[in-house]
Chain A
Amino acid sequence: MSVSAYKTPAPGDAAVVFDGVSKHFAASGKSGGFTALDNVSLSVGRGSITGIIGRSGAGKSTLIRLVNGLEKPTGGKVLVYGVDVGALDEAGLRELRRSVGMIFQHFNLLSSRTVFGNVALPLEIAGMDKHAIEKRVRPLLDLVGLADKHGRYPSELSGGQKQRIGIARALATEPKLLLSDEATSALDPETTQSILELLKRINADLGLTVLLITHEMEVVKAVTSDVAVIDHGRIVERGHTFDVFTHPKHETTRAMLSGLPGSKLPDAVSRALKPQATIGDRAVVRLTFFGAAAERPLISQLIKSVGAEVNIIAGTIDEIGGRPYGSLVVAYGADAETAGRAERFFTENGLVTEVLGYVA
């Protein structure tokens, strides 16, 4: 299957457009100036779940805060549903923020308010009357599965429950766009999955656009349809999540992907890996396959065509953006004849391969 060309959503179809956005923090006191974002252009399709992934300090927190005007760009424009955020005054910003929900890594719930009171807060802020608030909050607590906890205080809840309350609170004003700032980074893997499932369901059921930032590839893999990789304030790679995962182009993306289970070589192998082959060595090759290729008996065919021993070193079968995807690391003789036969086999079958190195 070929990589589908990534089409930028047309401005009319975009929930958020970053147009040549820069953010420079001026020098103050001891610290010198710092460029958090450098000419970033990116659009987020309506109804998509778009992920922005990067290491800490890459600028992703700043980027997401530009969307609801918590930070102001020093250059470029941010459009949210066609509205130029930078051109809004304080009152305009407040109105925009009421149509954009946000969830946080540390939940940011008020300890002095009950679950109900926390979800009601944005509605009180918007000036809604008590009766209407009551009517709006109940179904939201049902949606996140915490209706029975409405009178509890945040300190009595687990991390996952707190984030569910955070999500209910973010949805209270019926926003079209949900910003997620490392929402699962403080949660254990199991809870992370359940929160991600909830985000997916909300995206599907309410047609809500989700823009999330994270440093975890697992999160991007599990929920996003589109992804942008940010490094040192620049977008270094972007596309459909499936394509970026299966054909990572930038080294930052590759480095981040290598942390995923199944992508990592066993330590003993990676230690023994050499860049050049000597006589009698074996080549270590990563095969990536998806779509139809995933359903053919590749291994047995590979062994037949190579005509030599093939070792499986690591492998995973997974789903990215709902599409099956496999990655297999194999080793076979590095001599010209065997390697040539293997390469022919890969080309014939349309497999994407990458030679990782050689082992004795």
Chain B
Amino acid sequence: MSPDILLKIWGATLDTLYMVAAAGLIGSLIGLPIGIFLATSGKGELFPAPMTNRIVGLIVNAARSTPFIILVVAIIPFTRLLTGTSIGTKAAIVPLTIATIPFVARLVEAAIREIDKGLIEAARAMGATPMQIVFKVLLAEARPALTMALTMTAVSLIGYSAMVGAVGGGGLGDLGIRYGYQRFMPDVMLVVVIVLIVLVQLVQSAGDGLARRFDRRSRKN
């Protein structure tokens, strides 16, 4: 393999990390509050707004069920509006972020719904405001589950980021398609796949380790 190709693989890896990091960060920042809202706005819950809850739930479901590759194409005008272009790494961040938001929202909702209702009742009985309950009880107690959720998000994003390669998004997927597939360079394809596997492994173990550290529910020692 020529040094030129290796350099390209290195560059593509950085592009992938950049896309995953940017989309993961922005998507999570938006998805987290939406997830909290979904988990706390049902009838008789902390911020009761059942109607809005249902509507937000519908939108989240719609976004979740749109195939990613279609989402990428469908929002091209929006992407162009935000970044001035529809191809390249920067442009790819837009659909990646859009796909991340509902994904994170549902995972956060599930993580929060897992928390024993008794804890919410205890906090209410102490005179906590709904906001205090969210920050001091729900988010604190859900920390291990939230860490797992964000890990899952990052792993999924690595996969999605390879897909945006198909529409000129840059990154490892793009490299694999253009060199490995279109120029018949199976060795490049193999390296790309190996790099992706290693990335996913690293993210997953880091996430698992962090979640274990946060989890005080059943410490063995």
A residues at B contact (CB < 8 Å)? 68, 70, 93-98, 100, 102, 104, 106, 108, 110-113, 121-122, 124-126, 153-156, 169, 173, 179
A100 proximity list for chain B (CB < 8 A): 125
Which 3 pairs, one residue from A and one from B, show the smallest C-beta to C-beta distance? A97-B127, A108-B122, A98-B127
Decide: B219 and A102 in contact? CB cutoff 8 A. no
Binary contact track B178-221/A, C-beta < 8 Å → 1, others 0: 00000000000000000000000000000000000010111100
B136 proximity list for chain A (CB < 8 A): 121, 124-125
B69 at the interface (CB under 8 A from A): no
Decide: B126 and A122 in contact? CB cutoff 8 A. yes
B124 proximity list for chain A (CB < 8 A): 70, 97
B residues at A contact (CB < 8 Å)? 116, 118-119, 121-129, 132, 136-137, 140-141, 143, 214, 216-219
Q: Closest residue of chain A to B126, judged by CB?
A: A122
Decide: A108 and B119 in contact? CB cutoff 8 A. yes
Chain B nearest CB, measured from A234 CB (Å): 25
Q: Closest residue of chain A to B219, judged by CB?
A: A155
Decide: A155 and B125 in contact? CB cutoff 8 A. no
Decide: B126 and A97 in contact? CB cutoff 8 A. yes
Chain B nearest CB, measured from A190 CB (Å): 24
Decide: A111 and B122 in contact? CB cutoff 8 A. no
- Tell me whether A122 and B216 are in contact in the complex, defined as CB-CB below 8 angstroms, given that A104-B122, A108-B118 are known contacts: no
Of B132, B141, B214, which contacts A110 at CB under 8 A?
B141
Decide: B121 and A108 in contact? CB cutoff 8 A. yes
Decide: A94 and B140 in contact? CB cutoff 8 A. no
Q: Closest residue of chain B to A91, judged by CB?
A: B129
Decide: A112 and B125 in contact? CB cutoff 8 A. no
Decide: A94 and B141 in contact? CB cutoff 8 A. no
Decide: B127 and A94 in contact? CB cutoff 8 A. yes
Decide: B126 and A112 in contact? CB cutoff 8 A. no
Q: Closest residue of chain A to B44, judged by CB?
A: A28
- 29 A-B pairs with C-beta separation under 8 A: A68-B125, A97-B124, A97-B125, A97-B126, A102-B122, A104-B122, A106-B118, A110-B119, A110-B137, A110-B140, A110-B141, A111-B141, A111-B217, A112-B141, A112-B214, A121-B136, A122-B126, A124-B136, A125-B123, A125-B128, A125-B129, A126-B127, A153-B219, A154-B216, A155-B217, A155-B218, A156-B219, A173-B126, A179-B125
Chain B nearest CB, measured from A165 CB (Å): 12
Known: A98-B127, A155-B216. 10 other contacts (CB 8 A): A104-B118, A110-B119, A110-B137, A112-B143, A125-B127, A125-B128, A125-B136, A155-B219, A156-B219, A173-B127
- Tell me whether A70 and B132 are in contact in the complex, defined as CB-CB below 8 angstroms, given that A110-B140, A155-B218 are known contacts: no
A68 proximity list for chain B (CB < 8 A): 125
Q: Closest residue of chain B to A106, judged by CB?
A: B118
Q: Closest residue of chain A to B221, judged by CB?
A: A156
Most chain A C-beta atoms within 10 Å of own C-beta, residue among B124, B127, B129, B217: B127
Chain B nearest CB, measured from A287 CB (Å): 45
Chain A nearest CB, measured from B190 CB (Å): 44
Of A97, A104, A106, A111, which contacts B216 at CB under 8 A?
A111
Of A106, A121, A155, A156, which contacts B126 at CB under 8 A?
A121
Most chain B C-beta atoms within 10 Å of own C-beta, residue among A70, A106, A112: A112
Chain A nearest CB, measured from B34 CB (Å): 23
Chain A nearest CB, measured from B179 CB (Å): 48
A113 proximity list for chain B (CB < 8 A): 140
Chain A nearest CB, measured from B134 CB (Å): 12
Distance A31 CA – B216 CA, assembled complex (angstroms) = 38
Decide: A125 and B118 in contact? CB cutoff 8 A. no
Chain B nearest CB, measured from A358 CB (Å): 50
Distance A110 CA – B217 CA, assembled complex (angstroms) = 9
Chain A nearest CB, measured from B145 CB (Å): 11
A102 proximity list for chain B (CB < 8 A): 122, 125-126
Q: Closest residue of chain B to A99, judged by CB?
A: B127
A173 proximity list for chain B (CB < 8 A): 126-127
- Tell me whether A112 and B216 are in contact in the complex, defined as CB-CB below 8 angstroms, given that A94-B129, A124-B136 are known contacts: yes
A93 proximity list for chain B (CB < 8 A): 127
B129 proximity list for chain A (CB < 8 A): 94, 125
Of B116, B127, B218, B219, which contacts A122 at CB under 8 A?
B127
Decide: B125 and A125 in contact? CB cutoff 8 A. no
Most chain B C-beta atoms within 10 Å of own C-beta, residue among A93, A95, A111: A111
- Tell me whether A70 and B137 are in contact in the complex, defined as CB-CB below 8 angstroms, given that A111-B217, A122-B127 are known contacts: no
A121 proximity list for chain B (CB < 8 A): 123, 126, 136
A98 proximity list for chain B (CB < 8 A): 126-127
Distance A310 CA – B180 CA, assembled complex (angstroms) = 102
Decide: B214 and A108 in contact? CB cutoff 8 A. no
Distance A173 CA – B143 CA, assembled complex (angstroms) = 27
Of B121, B132, B141, B216, which contacts A153 at CB under 8 A?
B216
Most chain A C-beta atoms within 10 Å of own C-beta, residue among B122, B124, B140, B141: B122
Decide: A125 and B132 in contact? CB cutoff 8 A. yes
Most chain B C-beta atoms within 10 Å of own C-beta, residue among A70, A106, A121: A121
A169 proximity list for chain B (CB < 8 A): 126
